[in-house]
Amino acid sequence: MYHTTLLCLVLLAAGNIQAVTITDDQGATIQLVQPASRIISLAPHTTELLFAAGAGDKIVGAVRYSYYPEAAKTIPTVGDTNKLDLERIVALAPDLIVAWQSNAAADTEVLRTLKIPIYVSEPASLEAIARSIEALGILSGSATIAQQASAEFTARLTRLRENYSGKPVVSAFYQFWHDPIFTINGDHIISAVMQLCGGRNIFSKMAVLSGQISAEAVISANPDVIIASAIDANRPPWLDYWQHWPELAAARNGQIYYIPPDLIQRHTPRILDGAAMMCEFIDKARIK
């Protein structure tokens, strides 16, 4: 009787397992016969998104620099974002790979030929981050946790928008490298953060998503505030370069700030931490 009951429970559980169908950020359809239980993450931001979606314990491999949250540091490494360790990935027997557009195309194609399902995460807006969390929760069988995380993200985003959307617009320059000087256009998600805070990206009309500009172009546009990020949490010395140009309103009024890159350059819930900092900095520029 015991074995018969156990068999019935197993069959019942198996019958409750549902196939999963999701469209990724490139418009591709991903189909799983059941929620994934062995996931490989091919970008630091996708590792964070998976943890936010409640699927951190299902990640069996991740690329370097996947160090948030703390638990991510113990995940086996499968190479770099642009150079994957394909043999190790295959050996880990994943039933889902979460990738992004910047992964090496040749490596991704090899994985596709092995018939491993690949979900490409490329959230292009703040709202899309919430949708990505929900999608990853569905793919990994943690939809309830993911929906809660998505709702919390959306609520915080709404609060920031309500707090700052009605304030006077401030001209802003965002810089993420110095030699040469690099910035972003109006289509970039960081520009969306600037707009959320009531900032106007002075290079919003730039033809490319991110590109090189000259110091003369910045001086000519004369932003009210300069906000930068670089490659680590520490403010880089090169940000003081702008102090040599007192004709710049931002330099003259002391409106030059730094946001750690992980809080503004990764498409994860932590981008709202960076957004809160940016909104505070833009608010200070209003007072000046």
| Interval 59-98: pLDDT, tens | 999 999 999 999 999 999 999 998 999 999 999 999 999 9
pLDDT confidence tier of residue 1, bands split at 50, 70 and 90: very low
170 phi, psi to nearest 5 deg: -120, 130
Q: pLDDT of 142-177, one tens digit each?
A: 999 999 999 999 999 999 999 998 899 999 999 999
* Predicted pLDDT at 216: 97
Helix (H) or strand (E) holding 212: strand 210-213
Which residues touch 135 (CB under 8 Å, ≥6 apart)? 22, 24, 119
Fold of 15-154: Rossmann fold (3.40.50)
Domain boundaries of the chain, sorted by first residue = 15-154, 165-287
User: In this predicted model, what pLDDT tens digit does every residue of 173-200 receive, in sequence order?
Assistant: 999 999 999 999 999 999 999 999 999 9
Q: Helical H runs in 186-268?
A: 189-196, 215-221, 249-252
Supply 166's token pair: 């009605």
Confidence of residue 17 (pLDDT cuts 50, 70, 90): low
Eight-state DSSP code of residue 232: S
CA torsion angle 241 246 248 253 (round to 10): 100
101 versus 14: the higher-pLDDT residue is 101
What pLDDT shows up at residue 236?
85
Angle 271-287/189-196 helices, nearest 10 degrees?
Answer: 50
**CATH number at 165-287:** 3.40.50.1980
Give the predicted TM-score (pTM) of the model.
0.90
Radius of gyration of the chain (CA): 22
pLDDT at 5 over 80: no
pLDDT at 8 over 80: no
What pLDDT was estimated at residue 233? 81
Hey, do 15-154 and 165-287 end up sharing a CATH topology, with the first three levels equal?
yes
